[in-house]
Amino acid sequence: MFIIPLPHYNRFYLWVFFMSDTLLSTYEPTGRWRFEWVLPVLFQPRRTFSKIGGADTAVSQTPLLILVVTGLIRTLVAGGIKATAAASGQLQLPPGWEYYTPEQQAQFQQAMTATSGPVFTYLLPSVVVILGVYLGWLVLGWLLHLLLTLMGGRASSRQVLNVTAWSLLPFALRDIVRIVAMWNSGQLLTSLGLSGFAPTGEGLWFVFAAALLTAVDLYFFWHVLLLGVGIYAGDQLGRGKVWVAVLFVTLLLFLMRGVPALISAQFSDLTVIRPFF
The whole-number pLDDT of residue 119 equals: 77
Q: Specify the range with the lowest mean pLDDT, choosing from 30-39, 172-181, 226-235, 258-267.
A: 258-267
Distance CA 74, CA 208 (A): 24
CB-count exposure of residue 234 (10 Å: 0-12, 13-18, 19+): buried
Question: For the chain, what's the residue count?
Answer: 277
pLDDT digits (tens, 9 = 90+) for 123-180: 889 999 999 999 999 999 999 999 999 998 888 899 999 999 999 999 999 999 999 9
Gap between the Cα atoms of 268 and 113, Å rounded: 14
Spatial distance between the Cα atoms of 191 and 218, rounded to a whole number of angstroms: 15
What is residue 24's predicted lDDT score, i.e. its pLDDT?
Answer: 32
Dihedral sign for Cα atoms in the order 212, 233, 43, 21? positive
Percent of the chain whose pLDDT exceeds 90:
41
Which amino acid, 19?
Answer: M
Q: Which of 1, 62, 5, 42 is nearest to 222 (CA)?
A: 42
User: Which alpha helices (DSSP H) does the chain contain, by range?
Assistant: 8-26, 38-43, 45-53, 61-87, 102-114, 118, 124-150, 157-167, 169-185, 204-214, 218-234, 239-256, 259-266
What is the pLDDT of the chain when averaged over all its residues?
Answer: 78
Q: Where are the domains of the chain?
A: 49-269
Proportion of the chain above pLDDT 70, given as a percent:
70
What pTM did the predictor assign? 0.75
d(CA 56, CA 59): 9
Euclidean distance between CA atoms 110 and 37, whole angstroms: 47
- The end-to-end CA distance of the chain, in Å, is 90
Each residue's pLDDT tens digit, 9-29: 444 333 433 333 333 333 344
Looking at residue 113, what is its pLDDT? 64
